[in-house]
Structure 1
Amino acid sequence: MTTTDTGKRTIISEPQPDGAKALSDRLNWLRAGVLGANDGIVSVGATLVGVAAATPTVTPVLLAGIAAVVGGAISMALGEFVSVSSAADSQRSLISRVTELVLGDRAAANRRLVEGYREQGISESTAELIVADLSSEAAVRAHLHQDYGLDEDEVLNPGHAAYASAIAFLAGALLPLLTIILLPIAWRIPITIVAVIIALAVTGGLGAKLGGAPIRPAIGRVVVGGAIALVVTWGIGSLLGVVVG
């Protein structure tokens, strides 16, 4: 067990590999990327299948596809930026409150830290020695880590989140767009549907594996949901094609 101040956070836990946090961060971004790609596959695929069912002409399908890709990527980026910005604002507000507590009433802050360490199994005398040796900055980091599992260096970055979300959406959207544009008219809808289903199965399985969840149920959910979206838009497009035509 480590009870030393690293200069960045006070650690009262079993030692972890040096790359554990970095690996965790990469996995979180990868899971977010998988979800973004999944959205691109479903939304753009469903839009293209619906328009292709309404008209055999390539131009309307291409225009609809480009609009869906661009609009979807911007929407994903904006939504992620707003969401992560709100979360980051909350984190900064929390850090500010903890800092005010430590600087305004260090004795009360130290008592809370000692109580927290005692709950972890540290003796009161040892906990008091640890807390007394902390600088104000280290005390703030210790409070954030102990009470909220947060580090000042871990505040979320809205720009990174928006960029990653948009890129992931674009990557997923390219499959149905290229499939339905490049294939012959007679085959474009059925092959696009098959390609979308396969891609959803892959992303669903990958997302479940990264999150440590059962793979088969995850694949089943995304495949069924995607299939429903494709069937509904295909039906609407076919109906409108007949009515308009």
Structure 2
Amino acid sequence: MAEMDPVKLMKQEVGRAAAAKVQSDTVVGLGTGSTTAFAIQFLGDRLASGELKNIKGVPTSFQASVLAKKYGIPLTTLDEVDKIDIAIDGADEVDPQFNLIKGGGAAHTREKIVDGLAEQFIVVVDSSKLVEKLGSTFALPVEVLPMAVAPVTRALTALGATVDLRMGVNKDGPVITDQGNMVLDAKFEAIANPAEMEAHINNIPGVLENGLFVGVATEVLVGEVKDGQASVRSL
């Protein structure tokens, strides 16, 4: 039998570690992305074995909803619950203060709603996502109403960003979010003040939400591969 790819194994282990933090009788925010997908799978395994009972998931995307149904996790909505006990989600960048850039999967608007409501927000990443300053490796996703793409592009450019409309892969045309909007990827040299930048961008008319998550994460689980072995550490 072929050996599993070490990176995939590492993502599995991070997902397993995050899923292990979920307790029975809780509401769980279900994030989006390849690592979080493993966490959803392991939550389903814990439910199926009886180790975990009576949880309900709040999905952050169509992908998370499909995976939750596949693995037998009952779903609920924000209309039906008054709190989220724990959320598990990935990130594209994490700085030393646990500020994040998210939105590589274009789900950052729903993710910010769900993750921001969670009493405990567990971030699952690999070590390549750790940066000294946000924006140093990843463009900042900005969800924009379609009619406002041009003026928002100009406003972001004036802030010093190089801006690209995110285009689909294996499809013609731009990426469309679950809300029916478009995504501008704004590449800054670095973002010196994430909280100020988050507020400034969200005040641009036509912007729905941006991918800066400031002061939201409570724990970061980092997966690493050393000498072909996967390990997980908590920050």
TM-score using structure 1 length: 0.19
Q: Which has the higher helix share?
A: 1
TM-score, normalising length: structure 2:
0.19
Higher strand proportion (structure 1 or 2): 2
